[in-house]
Amino acid sequence: MYIKKQYHITTVLSWTKRYIVIFFFISVVPVILYDVVGWKWLHLPWLPIGLIGTALAFISGFKNNAAYGRLWEARKIYGGIVNTSRTLTTMVNDFITNEFSSKKYSEEEQFAIRKEIILRHVAWMTALRHSLRNPKEWESSFNNKSDKEFMKNIEVDEYQHTLEEQLEGYLSVKEKAEVLSKTNKQTACLKLQSNHFKRLKLQGLIDDFRHIEFKNSIEELFTLQGKAERIKNFPYPRQFATLNAIFVWIFIFLIPFGLINEFEHIGNTLSETNSNFITQNFVWFSIPFVMIISWIFILIERVGDTSENPFDGGMNNGVPITTMSRGIEIDIREMINDNPKDIPKAYLITNDSQM
């Protein structure tokens, strides 16, 4: 299970096939009324439609830039989690010693303490990614028909397994019950971690300075968690998203009425030098052009929609938080020299699943 390697044109066409069918009817009906029924008045000048298209391109560009900003910020947040996790593990390795303790702990006992902290940190990442995967009503992956159909071919770990299942082995029975009883389970994990650092100080395994450094790491993790939750829980302003979608569809409905007369004019011009079946029915060539233009604009609109929510796991342009969390787990458990047999494997890269 992993993120798809790349977008293939067949994938994009499959994702937008419902829209392509709609575009076909939108482009065919005006041509039939214009050329077959004989409603020659059924056309509009192209210039104002072109101006609408130009304005729409700027509006869509603004929306997509804002959506990409949310996506890139989400990626930087998880980059921060990677770095903070490694820093925390380095401190766990170097700070937990017998230097300040009256009781001398064996290497095995010290390793058990280090591993407990690291596994609890993995539990925090697990709780965080499950929280970030919770569906929101504004996320298109769960309310758009094309996206829901596309999601059937995507395996998202958090939708296949419960948090309770995935916390197994990372927390004690008591700690797991406490975490699952809380509303914000990732915050509960950090609270347990903070309490553990306090106990280590009271036991003399760390001094005041090291305790403060561990607290600083907890603070940084809370900061990164809060940033991720802000992106998840505060959507791209719906008035901008809704208006952009309305403008796109208005433009798409106007396109055929602006092109049919233009294509007929081209056909009449060609007929003056070479009159044949193609030139006499050249207006029908407006159909593929209407479909292509409409497809381009709706594709830009849909890419922006899916980029607004980088944690929903729906499309290929989201942040692969499950894969990154697994990579962090492997990295930090190797840093404390955990048994390789106990460390889970990285997710495999495939072309038909996403994390």
pLDDT digits (tens, 9 = 90+) for 155-207: 777 788 899 999 999 999 999 999 999 999 999 999 999 999 999 999 888 89
pTM summary value? 0.84
pLDDT in tens, 85-116: 999 999 999 999 888 887 888 899 999 999 99
CA 235 → CA 24, 78, 95, 151, 316, distances in Å?
A: 33, 19, 41, 20, 19
pLDDT at residue 4 is higher than 50: no
pLDDT at residue 351 is higher than 70: no
**Domain segments of the chain: what residues?**
9-342
Q: Tell me what pLDDT residue 291 has.
A: 93
Is 322 in contact with 2 (CB distance < 8 Å)?
A: no
C-alpha–C-alpha distance, residues 325 and 329, integer Å: 6
Which residues, other chains included, contact 208 with Cβ-Cβ below 8 Å and sequence gap of 6+? Answer: 201
Band of pLDDT at residue 131, cut at 50, 70 and 90: very high
Place of tokens 């940084």: 220
Per-residue tokens: 350: 């495939």
Mean pLDDT across the chain: 86
C-alpha–C-alpha distance, residues 346 and 79, integer Å: 18
